[in-house]
């Protein structure tokens, strides 16, 4: 039994998640949530302060903690819910339209198509310009005019509502794009795009670094090796051919091709070893700070996927605790990292990668020790192999039900990669 007094942050996650899901399911607007939940949250916090005067405060304190986390979950989701934005793109209707905004991401698709993630800022009509917000996916049907991250563009085309085809078991496009806060799609030829400027935001700088690294790889590698290298290092699978994808999928090792927490852990270990070489000039505290900054930069360059950001936040907390010479339990770190990420982007909860990453880590933290202790081989190499296998089994126990739910099939091979 996990004592709530030892793992308060781990226990706090569950009422927080219930609050998020409740707000999503019942579609409470920000005004309703703020008018009801904010006063209740303040009252709960004040009541928590009053419990310090009581003799037996444990039950009261943690009960109030659960209530506060539940209310916080509702408030966070209601504030971040793009479905109820008064100036949301969906409020202006669908069909032929003209929009302006900033390009957040660009991917080259099949046949030269450009897949653009656009942060919409204005809707342009014949005689007026209206402020607008939200993200849309823009499909530019050719690459005669290349679009880059950070470009300010005016784009015209057919704005389409994202809908499912309705076939049983088919890909849920609505849920997929909702988790990425994309509210509509727009299709246009390159002639329908006009560049009006360029912004050097942090996202643009990171994406430019990513493009520069990709160019360096393209100069040194080609074919299958280039595709695998870009997938492993940069999280870019655009150069992977169907044969390579099928080969990894058949063996159940697709997670190897995704930048994940495993990569972050290995990079952090490598950075620590490298920085130790400069111990005459860099103190241990300075080395920890430098390593934390570098893994945050790398996480941004790779696209900041949920699994990567989970690992970055967790390693940052653990390194920070080491910096402050404090002891912390991994379960508390896991819970706190989930709360931090979901406060920044509550829609991340509905991302399958986020769910698998946290379930895998939870399985490892809870089940690894009982599994590995169930058999203790005497030979060193067999023991090391068994320890690695135990990690995979622990991750598999909690992730398999979710995988079967979404994909109807599961493979044990390389399942421990999910935990990364």
Question: What's the start-to-end Cα distance of the chain, in Å?
Answer: 26
The answer to whether residues 228 and 272 belong to one domain is no
Domain boundary among 184, 199, 214: 199
Is 14 among the domain residues? Answer: yes
Where is 129: in which H helix or E strand?
strand 129-131
Structural domain boundaries, residue 396: 255-419
Task: Name the pLDDT band for 53 (thresholds 50, 70, 90).
Answer: low
**pLDDT higher for 14 or 60?**
14
Is 293 among the domain residues? Answer: yes
Alpha helix stretches (DSSP H) within 252-379: 261-276, 284-301, 306-323, 330-344, 352-373
* pLDDT of 415 higher than 50: no
Residue 30: what pLDDT? Answer: 73
Residue 293: what pLDDT? Answer: 93
Is 323 among the domain residues? Answer: yes
Residue 296: what pLDDT? Answer: 93
Comparing 37-46, 118-127, 136-145, 290-299, the range with the smallest average pLDDT is: 37-46
The answer to whether residues 110 and 68 belong to one domain is no
Is 1 among the domain residues? Answer: no
The answer to whether residues 17 and 70 belong to one domain is yes
The answer to whether residues 306 and 334 belong to one domain is yes
pLDDT digits (tens, 9 = 90+) for 161-176: 888 877 766 777 888 8
Residue 103: what pLDDT? Answer: 92
The answer to whether residues 193 and 208 belong to one domain is no
Contacts 24+ apart (CB under 8 A), 48-57: none
For residues 384 and 376, the answer to whether their CB atoms sit within 8 Å is no
Residue 345: what pLDDT? Answer: 92
Is 179 among the domain residues? Answer: yes
Domain boundary among 84, 107, 134: 84
**What pTM does this model have?**
0.84
The answer to whether residues 72 and 211 belong to one domain is no
The answer to whether residues 98 and 127 belong to one domain is yes
The answer to whether residues 93 and 173 belong to one domain is yes
Which has the closest alpha carbon to 271: 254, 293, 251?
Answer: 293
Task: Name the pLDDT band for 419 (thresholds 50, 70, 90).
Answer: very low
The answer to whether residues 273 and 306 belong to one domain is yes
Q: Which range scores top for mean pLDDT: 27-31, 253-257, 294-298, 401-405? A: 294-298
Is 3 among the domain residues? Answer: no
Task: Name the pLDDT band for 362 (thresholds 50, 70, 90).
Answer: very high
Mean pLDDT (whole number) for 369-374: 90
Task: Name the pLDDT band for 253 (thresholds 50, 70, 90).
Answer: low
The answer to whether residues 328 and 277 belong to one domain is yes
pLDDT digits (tens, 9 = 90+) for 107-163: 877 777 888 999 999 888 767 788 888 899 999 888 777 888 999 999 988 889 888
Query: CB within 8 A of 78, min separation 6: which ones?
Result: 23, 28, 29, 30, 32, 33, 34, 37, 84
Task: Name the pLDDT band for 268 (thresholds 50, 70, 90).
Answer: confident
The answer to whether residues 412 and 396 belong to one domain is yes
Domain boundary among 250, 285, 314: 250
Residue 16: what pLDDT? Answer: 94
CATH number of residue 191's parent domain: 2.40.50
Is 124 among the domain residues? Answer: yes
Residue 349: what pLDDT? Answer: 92
Is 118 among the domain residues? Answer: yes
Residue 412: what pLDDT? Answer: 47
For residues 365 and 331, the answer to whether their CB atoms sit within 8 Å is yes
Domain count, the chain: 4
Task: Name the pLDDT band for 55 (thresholds 50, 70, 90).
Answer: low
Residue 411: what pLDDT? Answer: 52
The answer to whether residues 209 and 111 belong to one domain is no
Residue 255: what pLDDT? Answer: 65
Structure tokens belonging to residue 157: 């085309």
């Amino acid at each position: 039994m996990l004592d709530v007094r030892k793992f308060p942050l781990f226990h706090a996650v569950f009422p927080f998640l219930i609050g998020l899901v409740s707000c999503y399911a019942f579609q409470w607007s920000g005004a309703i949530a703020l008018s009801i939940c904010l006063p209740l949250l303040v009252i709960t916090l004040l009541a928590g302060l009053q419990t310090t005067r009581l003799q037996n405060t444990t039950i009261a304190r943690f009960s109030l903690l659960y209530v506060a986390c539940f209310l916080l979950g509702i408030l966070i989701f209601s504030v971040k819910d793009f479905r109820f934005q008064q100036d949301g793109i969906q409020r202006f209707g669908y069909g032929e339209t003209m929009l302006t905004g900033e390009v957040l991401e660009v991917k080259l698709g099949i046949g030269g198509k450009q897949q653009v993630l656009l942060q919409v800022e204005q809707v342009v009509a014949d005689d007026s310009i209206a402020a607008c917000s939200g993200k849309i996916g823009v499909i530019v049907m050719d690459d005669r005019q290349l679009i880059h991250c950070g470009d300010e563009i005016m784009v015209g085309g057919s704005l389409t509502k994202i809908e499912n085809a309705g076939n049983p078991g088919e890909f849920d496009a609505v849920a997929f794009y909702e988790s990425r806060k994309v509210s509509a799609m727009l299709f246009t030829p390159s002639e329908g795009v006009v560049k009006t400027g360029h912004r050097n935001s942090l996202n643009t700088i990171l994406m430019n670094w990513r493009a520069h690294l990709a160019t360096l790889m393209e100069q040194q590698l080609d074919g299958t090796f280039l595709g695998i290298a870009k997938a492993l290092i940069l999280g870019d699978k655009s150069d992977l051919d169907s044969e390579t994808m099928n080969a990894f999928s058949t063996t159940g090792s697709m997670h190897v091709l995704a930048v994940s927490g495993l990569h972050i852990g290995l990079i952090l270990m490598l950075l620590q070893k490298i920085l130790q070489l400069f111990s005459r000039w860099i103190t241990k505290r300075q080395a920890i700070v430098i390593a934390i900054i570098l893994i945050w930069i790398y996480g941004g360059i790779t696209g900041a996927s949920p699994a990567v950001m989970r690992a970055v936040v967790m390693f940052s907390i653990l390194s920070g605790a080491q910096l402050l010479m404090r002891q912390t339990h991994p379960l508390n770190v896991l819970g706190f990292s989930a709360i931090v990420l979901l406060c920044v982007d509550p829609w991340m909860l509905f991302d399958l990668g986020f769910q698998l990453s946290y379930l895998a880590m939870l399985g490892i933290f809870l089940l690894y020790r009982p599994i590995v202790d169930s058999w203790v081989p005497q030979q060193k190499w067999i023991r090391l192999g068994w320890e690695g296998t135990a990690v995979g089994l622990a991750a598999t126990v909690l992730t398999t039900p979710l995988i079967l739910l979404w994909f109807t099939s599961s493979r044990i091979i390389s399942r421990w990669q999910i935990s990364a």
